[in-house]
């Protein structure tokens, strides 16, 4: 284990972790669904509502000034968090899902035409699939999918040129798969796409808080993520877009905050990001997210990534010693293995695994993980998943594996 | 480690989950209905053979967790020989039992589902087959889901 950071000590920053569930100490391994929040984030929210609350942008008074400074400060912080060249390229949304819907409804509606291809991968979360199905139906574009090799959860890039055809207008792909735990080579894919003049979106829901992200180095045009998966509050997310891409995009919703001047029949819109943020935004969300980003970067996302990978590697090694288990995604020691492990036990349904694990205090997730087409491709309905974060320990992984062993015994009896 | 879950995973349930009864299609059935649980992607298909107003035969196929499989299996055993009205009344009783845990009168072996209400996430699993039953009796063919079932 990494010696440079006191991983045990940081658990004290997360009061929620210190409790028992059904009489057993909580082992929270559902971080891919949502992470827990450190005190600094909770306190930032409380402070905002206790001292600074006011609407942003339109007020002259002191409180309005404070909340506007905090709100725009968070935007600048996001830009630094993902190495975006400019804060004006940061659009606040409700989360990854809304970020992708925004892009489909604005960029998609104006750039796609019949015959165009939206290239996705077979491992996309429904939030990077359904919005594209919807806009494809409206514009006459069609979807294509880069295949997944199988249980090992890698993208099959051997015939990429067959997929990256001149008809492709957009390549949208998940950075880290939430159901397989695969880290995809998005840098390479973006470079290939760029050569073909294809616009790219990276779904960073599972990556933004787990490894250092530099959108310029990734070479994508758009990057989306959710605050709640990176220690921030729910209800806040981000869409980053390259300035030249944002410039050509029509507004998303109409309303206050997004206009320069409005008349009864015509309105002139503000430039990005405000063009895409109609109405009073979530103000406390960005403020909480700011505290979360500070927290993560004080640890260092390079350290978090190492810790994630070590836990996943350990979990994989221990689980693979069990009989009658099917593991999904890259092997534990693969450099493409991110901090979560999806698995199935023979003759035990994922729901039953999760119910029993919960009785032992271990919070897992079972289901299709919003990747139903992928599940069907792999010939399963669902998997059980343990997903790790920096506050999880090796001892917790051992407890989790013990519980899985006991579950096998329970259903084997 | 799991002493406390015996109220959910009762022996009868474990038995029916490992060895589901009437687990096959009935190609010549009178009505069929599908149940889907959108949470986990599980689905099952229920087949009923009716003569006049009476259920002569019942069977199911599909994938699911222990609770949903056992529930479907016990359902098929219990509705055979019942009239539509009796089966509908049984639906009400079983649904009451699964969602509240309170005694709904004599439901025979189905009483093993009295513990499910303590596991809100699993109520949908236990009730899936029963919604499919109701749909089949209505003669409907649209898949039913338990999405709006209070849990
Ligand atoms: C890979 C991936 N993409 C998108 C999403 C959607 O994120 P949200 O529900 O926060 O909008 C998730 C979260 O479940 C995810 O794991």
Any idea what the CATH number is for the domain that residue A355 is in? 3.90.1150.10
Angle CA A137–A138–A144, to nearest 5 = 40
Asked, for residue A35, whether it belongs to a domain, the answer is no
Instruction: Verify that A336 and A218 share a domain, yes or no.
Output: no
Are A286 and A92 in contact by the 8 Å Cβ rule? The answer is: yes
pLDDT in tens, chain A (413 residues): 445 688 888 999 999 999 999 999 999 999 999 999 999 999 999 999 999 999 998 788 999 999 999 999 999 999 999 999 999 999 999 999 999 999 999 999 999 999 999 999 999 999 999 999 999 999 999 999 999 999 999 999 999 999 999 999 999 999 999 999 999 999 999 999 999 999 999 999 999 999 999 999 999 999 999 999 999 999 999 999 999 999 999 999 999 888 889 989 899 999 999 999 999 999 999 999 999 999 999 999 999 999 999 999 999 999 999 999 999 999 999 999 999 999 999 999 999 999 999 999 999 999 999 999 999 999 999 999 999 999 999 999 999 999 999 999 999 86
For residue A32, report the distance from its CA to the centre of ligand 1, in Å: 8
Question: A243-287: per-residue pLDDT in tens?
Answer: 999 999 999 999 988 888 998 989 999 999 999 999 999 999 999
B51, β-bridge pairs: B54
Domain end among A297, A324, A347? A297
Any idea what the CATH number is for the domain that residue A109 is in? 3.40.640.10
Instruction: Verify that A77 and A224 share a domain, yes or no.
Output: yes
Establish whether this prediction's ipTM goes over 0.90.
Answer: no
What pTM, to 2 d.p., does this model score? 0.93
CB of A371 closer than 6 angstroms to any ligand 1 atom: no
**What's CA A40's distance to the chain center, in Å?**
21
Angle CA A328–A332–A334, to nearest 5 = 100
Pure H helices in A183-324: 186-195, 215-218, 243-247, 284-299, 301-319
A224, β-bridge pairs: A203, A239
Which of A21, A33, A347, A351 to mutate against chain B (most B CBs within 10 Å)?
A351
Angle CA A116–A150–A100, to nearest 5 = 40
Are B115 and B5 in contact by the 8 Å Cβ rule? The answer is: no
**What's CA A408's distance to the chain center, in Å?**
32
Q: Which atom of ligand 1 is nearest to the CA of A97?
A: 11
Query: Residue-wise over A95-129: b if at least 16 C-beta within 10 A, else e?
Result: bbbbbbbbbbbbbbeebbeeebbbbbbbbbbebbb
Are A295 and A389 in contact by the 8 Å Cβ rule? The answer is: no
**What's CA A63's distance to the chain center, in Å?**
33
Mean pLDDT of chain A: 96
Q: Reduced to 3 states, what is the DSSP secondary structure of residue A94?
A: coil
Q: Which domain holds residue A282?
A: 42-297
Instruction: Verify that A286 and A374 share a domain, yes or no.
Output: no
Instruction: Verify that A107 and A227 share a domain, yes or no.
Output: yes
What pLDDT does residue A59 have? 80
Q: Which long-range contacts (CB under 8 A, 24 or more apart) does B22-28 make?
A: B22/B58, B22/B59, B22/B60, B22/B73, B22/B76, B22/B77, B23/B59, B23/B60, B23/B61, B23/B73, B24/B59, B24/B61, B25/B59, B25/B61, B26/B57, B26/B59
Is the Cβ pair B65, A351 closer than 8 Å?
yes
Set A220, A231, A245, A370: catalytic member: A370
Torsion sign (Cα): A271, A276, A280, A282: negative
Q: With a cut of 90, say whether residue B41 has pLDDT above it.
A: no
Are A269 and A106 in contact by the 8 Å Cβ rule? The answer is: no
- For A283, half-sphere exposure in the C-beta direction (CA atoms, 13 angstrom radius) is 21
The structural domain count of chain A equals: 2
Domains of chain B, first to last: 3-141 (3.90.1010.10)
For residue A33, report the distance from its CA to the centre of ligand 1, in Å: 8
């Amino acid at each position: 284990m990494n010696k440079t950071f006191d991983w045990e000590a940081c658990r004290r920053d997360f009061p929620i972790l210190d409790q028992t569930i059904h009489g057993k100490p909580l082992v929270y391994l559902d971080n891919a669904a949502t992470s827990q929040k450190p005190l600094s984030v909770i306190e930032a929210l409380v402070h905002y509502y206790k001292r600074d609350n006011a609407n942003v942008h339109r007020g002259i008074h002191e409180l309005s000034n404070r909340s506007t400074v905090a709100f725009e400060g968070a935007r600048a912080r996001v830009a630094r968090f993902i190495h975006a060249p400019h804060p004006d390229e940061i659009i606040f949304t409700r989360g990854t899902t809304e970020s992708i819907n925004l892009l489909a409804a604005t960029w998609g509606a104006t750039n796609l035409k019949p015959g165009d291809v939206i290239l996705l991968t077979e491992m996309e979360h429904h939030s990077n699939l359904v919005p594209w199905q919807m806009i494809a139906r409206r514009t006459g574009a069609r979807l294509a999918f880069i295949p997944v090799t199988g249980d090992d959860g890698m993208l099959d890039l051997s015939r990429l040129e067959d997929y990256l055809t001149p008809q492709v207008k957009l390549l949208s792909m998940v950075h880290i798969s939430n159901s397989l735990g695969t880290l995809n080579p998005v840098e390479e894919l973006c470079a290939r796409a760029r050569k073909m003049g294809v616009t790219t979106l990276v779904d960073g829901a599972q990556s933004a808080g787990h490894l250092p992200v530099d959108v310029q180095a990734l070479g994508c045009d758009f990057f989306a993520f959710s605050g709640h998966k990176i220690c921030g509050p729910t209800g806040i997310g981000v869409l980053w877009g390259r300035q030249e891409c944002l410039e050509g995009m029509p507004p998303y919703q109409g309303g206050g905050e997004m206009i320069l001047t409005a008349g009864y029949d015509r309105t002139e819109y503000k430039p990005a990001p405000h063009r895409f943020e109609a109405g009073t935004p979530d103000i406390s969300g960005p403020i909480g997210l700011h505290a979360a980003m500070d927290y993560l970067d004080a640890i260092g996302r390079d350290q978090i990534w190492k810790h994630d990978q070590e836990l996943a590697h350990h979990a994989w090694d221990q689980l693979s010693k069990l009989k009658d288990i099917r593991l999904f995604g890259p092997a534990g020691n693969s450099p493409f293995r991110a901090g979560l492990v999806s698995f199935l036990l023979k003759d035990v349904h994922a729901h039953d695994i999760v119910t029993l694990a919960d009785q032992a205090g271990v919070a897992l997730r079972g289901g299709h993980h919003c990747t139903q087409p992928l599940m069907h491709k792999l010939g399963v309905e669902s998997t059980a998943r343990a997903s790790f974060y920096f506050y999880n320990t090796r001892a917790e992984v051992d407890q989790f594996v013990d519980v899985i062993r006991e579950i096998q015994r329970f259903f084997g009896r | 480690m799991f002493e406390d879950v015996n109220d959910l995973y009762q022996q009868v349930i474990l038995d029916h989950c490992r060895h589901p009864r009437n687990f096959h299609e009935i190609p010549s059935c009178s009505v069929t209905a599908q149940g889907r649980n959108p949470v986990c992607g599980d689905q099952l298909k229920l087949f009923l053979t009716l003569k006049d107003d009476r259920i002569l035969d019942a069977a199911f196929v599909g994938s699911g967790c222990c609770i949903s499989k056992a529930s479907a299996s016990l359902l098929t055993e219990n509705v055979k020989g019942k009239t539509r009205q009796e089966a509908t009344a049984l639906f009400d009783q079983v649904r009451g039992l699964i969602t509240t845990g309170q005694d709904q009168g004599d439901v025979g072996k189905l009483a093993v589902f009295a513990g499910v209400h303590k596991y809100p996430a699993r109520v949908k699993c236990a009730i899936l087959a029963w919604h499919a039953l109701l749909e089949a009796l209505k003669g409907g063919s649209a898949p039913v889901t338990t999405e709006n079932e209070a849990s």
